[in-house]
Structure 1
Amino acid sequence: MVSSFSKTGQPFAWSIIFFIVLGYQSICQGFASLPQESGVNGSQMTRDSLNTTGYPFTASSPASTPSPGAHLPHDLKRSVYVLDLTLDGSNGSSSDIVVTEPEANHTAILMELKVYLETVASGVYLHSDKAAGMEDSFPLVLRLEFTHGALDEDLQAKLEDALAQLDSSGMFSVESNTSTMLENFFMSTQDPCTAMFVCPLGFTCNSVGCQHMCIKDDVCNGRGDCVVSVLSNGDAAPTCRCHSGYTVHYSGDQCQDKRMGDGQATAIVAGILGSICLLLLVAVLVLCMGRKSSSNYMLSKDVYSKSTYANTETRG
């Protein structure tokens, strides 16, 4: 019986140990192949990003100061101030300018507007705020652009005079509330941050200059590297490349989410599985030793019985 167990019991025990080790390796490989999370729409940087500027900064913000900081001065030569006026084809609307000939197409309207306004504004544009395919519908948006160099004390008076001539042209009627809008617009031009292109892409405007988006605030909460991504619509936005290590992994748009690192998780699982394997190994060894002891006991009992029977026959 001992010989029988040696041939069948031991291979069975080793088979169990082999499959346990194989299962442990499979689980470890599964953890290693888990996809890594990313804090930027994986980026998520994804966050619809196309490329990044070559001016990266870490998320750690500098020591705060009472006044805002600046990395670049305002680019006043490139700055453009924009004034939008609404055009409609009916007098009952809340538009700034009424087109008295609403049957005219956009091209004719724009050409007539340029006659009076192009000598004052740096750019004259006409846009429709309707869906694509309805280009000749109202209301329209008249956009006037003014460069910083064109701003002077006489510009407001020149624009008011041009609108007065436009009103007397017979094709347009300028509403009386437009003068208040012009006054508010020229007051706003005293702030350079109301202009377009005053700061490069990836910078925000403040009272003293242009500050990089990654320095303005602690964008990534100190848990990742901040870079500026250019989105598909042309806008720039700060995004985070979150840190990931052995013990901890950060994710989310601002690296605000925290979870256990893959290395530490694998180590814990390996420890648990190792403990289970050890317990199973001990159980198998105890079972084997129990069967061996039982076999030895049965063998000793059989030998004792035969010896007793032989002694009895000899005495008889």
Structure 2
Amino acid sequence: MHRAPTPRSLRCAPLVITRISHSLRHHQPNPSSRAASTKSTPTRTPPAQQAPPSAWSARKVLVATGALAVAAGAAYPPIREQAQATLQDAQHAIRARINMFAQPSREKLLPDVPKGMHSVRTLVIDLEKTLVSSSYTRASGWRIAKRPGAEAFLAYMASFYEIVVFTSSLNMYADPILDKLDPNMYISHRLYRAETHYRNGVHVKDLSRLNRDLSRVIVIDHDEKHVSMQPENCILIPKWDGDASDTSLLDLIPVLEGVVRRDVKDVRNHIGVLRGKPLAEGVAEYRALADAQMQAEGGRAISLFGRAVDGADDTRAVGRPGANGEDDDGAAPGAVWGRLSGSGFFSRPAPAADKR
């Protein structure tokens, strides 16, 4: 049978009573020692004149002590509850302070998609070791290098995607780099360390807070820990440390362009062929599958940047100037850049040359 736990004050009461009674007995005169002292010191007061403490008096002291212990036990629980409440308040305050740094700064990291623009696809790109690489030496200080093809990659992908740079760096570090890397404002939004989850020493990017349909979101990163919450949306590319012969970003263009040209419903299934294998091998397999499917559907295989293999125009290409009978207005018809410019959707005003 389960017994309710005994309050600590009641468990301690017998010990208190025992110690008090032991103290009383310790200070009572010992008859044998009194007799010995009488023989050795005849001048002391006779034992008959020293009245020992009454047994009833000792019992009264014990009863009073027990009553005091019971009263203390009755009064202790409220004090304990008050202490526990104070401790819980302190814990909540500490947890809230920690969450202020460990949780994203807001629930919706990106603004709502403008009315009529729900078909927009979002490309989230990491900064450090993905688009750029930084190094430090005592002789030259900090030096920032751009990954080969980074500027061209951003410019071309802006015709198909809403581009978001999501970095675990602080904005004071990332903004100067992005200003130099993207002077034409192809990047729609910038997210920093304050918008990440801090878990087990890693700044994790929670794509569910982007305020976007995850079936239309692709993230490019070099570290799978950064996207551990939604790994199915990620394309992992090699970490870049300054290799001038790297072509990872340019290798991804056929995959990312194919998502838009084929109007893929769920990008997570489309990019699954790249998961769990080297990037070059995954891209080669993807292009082979895409070409075979296009030929099976009676079309022509599309090569890099949307050009047909035989050099003829592809009238189905949504990113080609003149497609669907539209005029070339400086941006590919149907492209994200052409549709969003001037709509106030970007987090910062677009350059004058890009306004329409």
Q: TM-score range by the shorter chain?
A: under 0.3
- Structure of greater relative contact order (alpha carbons < 8 Å, 6+ residues apart): 1
Name whichever structure is richer in helix by fraction: 2
Larger radius of gyration: 1
Name whichever structure is richer in strand by fraction: 1
How high is the TM-score relative to the length of structure 1? Answer: 0.20
How high is the TM-score relative to the length of structure 2? Answer: 0.19
